[in-house]
Amino acid sequence: MDETDTLEAEQLAKFAHKIRYSARARSIFKAACKEFNAHRPHNMRRNVQTRWNSISDMAINADRTFLAIIATQRDASLSIPCKHQLHTEDRKSIKGMIALFKPLSVVTEALSHAGVLLLADVILHFDSLEYKYANIANDSDQPAYMQLGAQQA
């Protein structure tokens, strides 16, 4: 992730915080979700620093309700400054974050809910992560930040 993606992740986190603690923002967001036929639930999970997969959940929710987020942020009654708003071209970066964090989220879920883990299970999951990230890193169609992020993973 580069600096702009970090900025987008922070903007998503601030928006999730706003609709969580502001009844007015939440009602505008839910109305926008209904207007744009966004799949339920009409919410956005927030990023929790102690949870490994929370940024993945937040990005998936943002992708699902992206048009409603844009409409809510542009509502004049909420007075969100332009520099803190997401823009339509940011959706590509959100999809990139999902591509990078989803494999980690899947493995985290699998390993945290398994009863007794065998070493072979853990090795299998890490091999699948290596395969997915190697494909992203070697794909020349991916943006540079995606390739570098996959190489670091």
Residue 153, token pair as written in the block = 């993973």
- The conformation of residue 141, written as its DSSP 8-state character, comes to T
How many other C-beta atoms can be found within 10 angstroms of the C-beta atom of residue 95?
16
49: pLDDT strictly greater than 70: no
What is the model's pTM? 0.74
User: At a CB cut-off of 8 Å and minimum separation 6, what does 108 contact?
Assistant: 52, 53
> 75-118, pLDDT tens digit by residue?
888 888 888 888 888 888 888 888 888 888 888 777 777 676 77
> 4-23, pLDDT tens digit by residue?
555 778 888 888 888 888 88
Give the count of domains, the chain: 1
Give yes or no for a contact between 136 and 146, defined as CB atoms under 8 angstroms apart.
yes
